[in-house]
Amino acid sequence: MAEKLTTETGQPWADNQHSQTAGARGPVLIQDYNLLEKLAHFDRERIPERVVHAKGAGAKGYFLLENDMSKYTKADVFNGNDKKTPVLVRFSQVAGEKGYPDTPRDVRGFSIKFYTQEGNYDIVGNNTPIFFVNDPLKFPDFIHSQKRDPKSNKRTQERQWDFWSHSPESVHQVTYLMGDRGLPASYRTMNGYGSHTFKWVNKEGEQFWVKYHFISDQGVHNISNKLAGELAGRDSDYLQNELYDSIENGDFPSWSVYVQVIPYEEGLKYKWDIFDITKVVSHKDYPLQKVGKFVLDENPTNNFVDIEEAAFSPANMVPGIEPSPDKLLQGRLFSYKDTQRYRLGVNFEDLPSNKPVVSVHNYERDGYMKSDNQGSEDNYEPNGFDGPKEVPEANIHSFEVSGEAGSQDYSHNVDYHTQAGDLYRLFSDEEKDRLIETIQMNLGQVESDEIKKLEIKQFYDADPDYGTRVAKALDMNIDDIK
């Protein structure tokens, strides 16, 4: 039997088809408060979309801990065996707006929220182990280059390649993006990465650097440029729908969770800067260690409440997991929560998808839409009335810093090309052919020869064959560039 139709405040609603009017032909009466409420709510039912990663999809599930990691971290979620933790995962596109097609070439967001017994723990990563920039000051500029031109309102190849060509640190990620993995066949068949280096601390106070890898148990599958274009016209929500339909049909995707564990002092002396997100750490030097797996077995009950209102932040850490000096990570620790305060309001963490499974006790109160105001507990500290007490063992472990304060040109004489070349040389001949074809399709749309030359020079510095082939594909003379 259907539920009774009610207003937002629970009163029975008699007629949802006809406004109250003065006579059959009107006009409408202002006493029809249900009409006014319905229109007023409709006028306000859209919230600001995410500035980045606006278009996405997600699901619920669980993380199963298979190997006790207490040797490296005291985080409860990773201590023990066969421990199940609820998770919420959101996949997304970086650049497009909320209504943008799913399949254009783009980096894909890969965010996981663990509802642990020590509070929420978020890993906010991508389907790539690296990124385009390594300084938070450049992040807004990078995103602006991916968004629409302020004059024409077009997304253009000219703008994004202009930024990349003037940002040599981007060449590794550009190579990754223009390769096969820039077009995943589905969210279920792409890997995820924490991308940054994080710090783990065990109960004895020993510290380790870690990098997260989420390996698709379905295998990695990608699509061609041609098919991606066809899907954009046939089903603009293709990736979202494919994920939803798979879970609805009982085909639950899973990912094996691995970490690279790097001893503290070794990490500081590693041949590459492990705090530079444009770099990877070799699996040969630090092999993947299995932690467990997570499974997505439940679609959203209400997409707005479960997914659109979900707020992820790398600042959501639990005892035993801490930040590293990674500059881009340090900027994200502030920016991600701040954008949610703008998008959802100051009390966004009261919303169902963001609320932890443990009780919350602190001295923050009030503000718009506060649903849990902690009753009569005191709202100041220090106090003599047995208010919430600090937890000293949750304090982070310090790391040593040195040098002079100021704007640092830390990219000076940094090698941004070798790892991009290593990636190129890992590609099969067929993958290289598709990479060059994709760059030709995209960089070939740029009118400025100067932008093309700067970008080709980066490819050439990564690998001479790489740069030479791109130059040939764009009918440019490599001798004038190298």
Beta bridge partners of 259: 212, 289
Burial class of residue 206 (count of CB atoms within 10 Å of its CB; 0-12, 13-18, 19+)? middle
- Calculate the alpha carbon distances from 98 to 52, 57, 95, 145, 237 in Å: 10, 11, 10, 18, 10
Name the catalytic one among 16, 18, 34, 53: 53
Per DSSP, helices labelled H in 259-398 are 264-268, 303, 327-344
**DSSP code, position 71:** T
Beta bridge partners of 184: 222
Name the catalytic one among 18, 34, 81, 126: 126
Distance CA 290, CA 465 (A): 36
Distance CA 265, CA 171 (A): 29
Burial class of residue 268 (count of CB atoms within 10 Å of its CB; 0-12, 13-18, 19+)? middle
The answer to whether residues 188 and 253 touch, using CB atoms and an 8 Å cutoff, is: yes
Residue that is written with structure tokens 């479960």 in the block? 306
Distance CA 135, CA 156 (A): 24
Beta bridge partners of 454: none
Distance CA 359, CA 337 (A): 20
> Six-digit token pair at 128?
């790539």
Q: Residue 112 is which amino acid?
A: I
Beta bridge partners of 262: 209
Residue that is written with structure tokens 């993006």 in the block? 177
- Calculate the alpha carbon distances from 87 to 250, 253, 332, 350, 380 in Å: 18, 13, 21, 17, 33
> Is 126 in the active site?
yes
Residue 16, CA atoms < 13 Å, CB-side half-sphere:
8
Name the percent of the chain in helix, strand, coil, to the closest 5: 35, 15, 50
Residues serving a catalytic function are 53, 126
